[in-house]
Structure 1
Amino acid sequence: MTYFTAIDRCLQNMSSVLCVFEHVIDQVKQDIPGLTTLSIRGDNAGCYSGTAAIIARQVICASADIYLKRADFSEPQRGNDQADRDIAVAKSCLKAYTNRGGNLINAKSIKEALVESFGNLSGCKTSVIAVDESKCYLPNMKIEGITKYHSVAFNDKSITLWQYFDIGSGKSKNLTDCKCILHTTVILPFSDNQKTNKEILMKSTLSSAIFFCSVDSCAATFDNEEELMNHE
């Protein structure tokens, strides 16, 4: 399952990223109630791999009764792998939506475009949220050289960091001031696109059907069967 979240308004910072993460975790917990352990992988941009973002993810998962086992980040110039592939499909759907005359003017229209993707995003869910960064409070903890580390393992009261996955003993750091408060408003909740896509595809097929005259020398086309019968 792939989750897409369009944000109505936000800054591209840790607070926004964590609000999306919390929103997705809540939905994952609904979809997989028995989930108890989680490992995550993400981009190594500053708003993803900063100390506050790393610690806050553990707090968010713990509040959902999920044990965050580890977090790994893409090494520089290595890309995002699966995330890049998923977003490439989504961008294609957005482009197709505008080519059909649709307008992408806000987050709601992005969700509409992804839902009307004619089956290309089956197995995906899309939502729209708004984030108020001024009401968010992130863990006040600093780790020197945090951007050099690409792997993190979580324990009850400490974390272990590695520059490269599982090479060496890593660097341990005790957790302090792990308070995390996020403020997210759900505008449109996650919806399963698969069923909607099938309905839209059927409607599109019917509405775009073209009927041809059966006479070899005639190149006339018609929008419906009634017009074709009247012609013949």
Structure 2
Amino acid sequence: MVLKDFAWGALSAAALAAGIFSGTAQAFLITNTGMQAGNPPGDLYEVKISSTDVNSSFDIFWNVPSSASSALTHDLAAEMTVSVDAFTSTTLDLSIAISNTTLLDGGFKANILSFGFGVDPDVVPSFLTSGTTFVTVADGQGGQQSFPGGFKGIDVCAFAANNCSGGSVNDGLAIGASDSMQIRLTGAFGSDPMAILMGFPLKFQTDEGSYEPAGAVVPVPAAVWLFGSGLIGLVGLARRKKAA
């Protein structure tokens, strides 16, 4: 009977979670555009933000496997959380926390020198609070607002050294380190504010060359955590019944 009760409870929890997913609007609209850019090439994502997304967050992950280049002997990785703090017709405030999650291996250096994203409509970026490593924010390089790796239309680029294109490896975000900042985007977002963030390039400078991957965007719906907590609670309940 305990197993039967537990199975029925688990199915009920799954049905409840399914209802939550279908009945609750997901934060952000995240789209894989089907286009690619970067070194090595990767899929380009867009994130549509509205005023309903204030106090919500999304994650971005960058990965460069060692198989991407004959010169590279280490996998490279980074992750970033973007939180929407405030959104009006003229300003979009974002909190950004970025980490270099490449695995430390001896004296190998793989520092992050810059990262960024495009924005529609066009914006002017500025720091509300700068990072410790990323101390300058501007648009991309040149008339097309380019970023290393073939990215174009990059309205926002935060960098640690000379400019968006790079600089000394020693100035970048080192393996295992993190940085955080708050950026204000100023633009014409409309009376019902809307913006699209896109591209999400990042520059690794390493002992084995430079690499500029595109970021993969991942939503983290609150319902996932609710569903997980519900299942954990059901498992605990079943164990208590069995012990009794």
The structure having more radius of gyration, on CA atoms, is 1
TM-score normalised by the chain length of structure 1? 0.29
The structure whose residues are more often strand, as a share, is: 2
TM-score normalised by the chain length of structure 2? 0.28
Q: Which has the higher contact order (CA 8 A, sep 6+)?
A: 2
